[in-house]
Amino acid sequence: MHKIAVIGTGYVGLVGGAGLADFGNAVVCVDQVAEKIERLRNGEIPFYEPGLSEVVERNVREGRLSFTTDLAAAVRECDVVFIAVGTPEGEGGAVDLSQVDGAARDIGRHMNGYRLIVQKSTVPVGTARRIRKIIEENMTGDHDFEVVSNPEFLREGSAVEDFMRPDRVVVGADSERAKETMRSIYRPLYLTRTSIVETTPETAELVKYASNAFLATKISFINEIANLCEYVGADVQTVAYTMGLDKRIGPKFLHAGAGYGGSCFPKDTKALVRIAESAGTDAKVVAATVEVNRLQKERMLAKTIEAAGGDVSGKRIGVLGLSFKPNTDDMRYAASIVLIEGLLERGASVQAFDPVAMENARSIMPAVDYLGDPYEVARGVEVLVFMTEWNEFRRLDIDRLKELMARAVVVDCRNIYRPEDFLECGFEYFGVGRGRP
């Protein structure tokens, strides 16, 4: 068993800390926000993630997981320190490393013996070396330590499963001692034959960006194909399905829609473009991916305006789904923001529902009328827009929707339904890549 401190109780830190505790380690999660720590001690999870509260509760109850604001004590008492702080998008798409730098300074000031520092946040290539330098500059004694890059690959909505049963674990380390410690920490995964990739810190740092950029590129690619389908009368659903049957391509991330959002793909793609520029080269495919995604969100707004007859001023529009994807309350870079803000700017009134994201959405878009269920949203609207593919939206009573709406018009930005499901009930249906410009 290792004594592990995890600095940061955001998405990566809390999921990772709870998961490491579930692996049998003694974990203390550290955050400087006292209110957040108090809420965690009371069993309150600060964001929506299926299954996380159960893992946290179990490990707190069994004495392996605790929470504190005392970073100094955590660093002094633990042999491994994970850095899992935020790395938000900075100016021009660059990564803001201020929280990482601050964590490194604090570790250096309070270290009292050998420590393994594990960088878990998503950071540019060279950050492990940067952390080492900052710690050395802030140490009060002559202590040995090592810095390892251990990127996370968690999908929001499936993060607990991803941590417990990952496709792979990447460890970027320079010494056998550091690698052996990481093997010990992740020992349960070795027993299940999870692929553990041991490499250099620089390679580990780049793997994260390369993986996310590739997946984002698949999304932008199929969205471009969907747009082409609308002009040539083809069906993107069949195109994507048939492409996915090729084992070299695969079916994942070939679902046409409103574009990607969330905490990773938008900032990581832009960061990779900046990393390439800083290295004196280009990432042209990734840059194009970013631009296609921006345009796709605007295209959903244009599609909705078209569905409303070319002008939304004075019209009521209903929106179902606000979070950037199902099973999360994350509104970061959500396509719904581009849609709704565009509608409001053009004089429309908007009423919306989301199963878990309305509180977060309200802080961003207070002018929206947030209602209690899909049928309340449908009442009196000129157009009903599906923006997030929550399962509960897949089996709605279409005849009831028609009775409630002012006009029977649907914009399905995630292709949740077959066009005929609505067309047969007398609706006008606008999908993505379903053969209609």
φ and ψ of 205, to 5 deg: -65, -40
Active site residue 229: no
Contact between residue 386 and residue 393 where contact means Cβ atoms under 8 Å apart: yes
Q: Which of these is catalytic: 29, 264, 413, 425?
A: 264
Token pair 């290295």: residue = 279
Q: Which helix (H) or strand (E) holds 56?
A: helix 52-61
Contact between residue 330 and residue 354 where contact means Cβ atoms under 8 Å apart: no
Rg (CA), the chain: 24
Q: Give CA 225 to chain center in angstroms.
A: 24
Q: Which bin fits 316, alpha (ψ -120 to 50), beta or left (φ > 0)?
A: beta
Q: Which pair of structure tokens corresponds to residue 122? A: 């998503």
Q: What is the DSSP string of 367-395?
A: TSEE-SSHHHHHTT-SEEEE-S--GGGTT
Measured CA to CA, the distance from residue 412 to residue 364 in angstroms comes to 23
Own/partner pairs, 353-357, CB within 8 angstroms, 24+ separation: 353/319, 353/320, 353/377, 354/320, 354/321, 354/322, 354/323, 354/329, 354/388, 354/390, 355/390, 355/392, 356/48, 356/323, 356/328, 356/329, 357/48, 357/322, 357/323, 357/328, 357/329, 357/330, 357/331
Measured CA to CA, the distance from residue 409 to residue 423 in angstroms comes to 10
Measured CA to CA, the distance from residue 133 to residue 422 in angstroms comes to 61
- The strand pairing partners of 351, in sequence order, are 318, 369
Beta strands in 156-309 (DSSP E): 168-172, 195-199
Task: Kindly list the catalytic residues.
Answer: 264
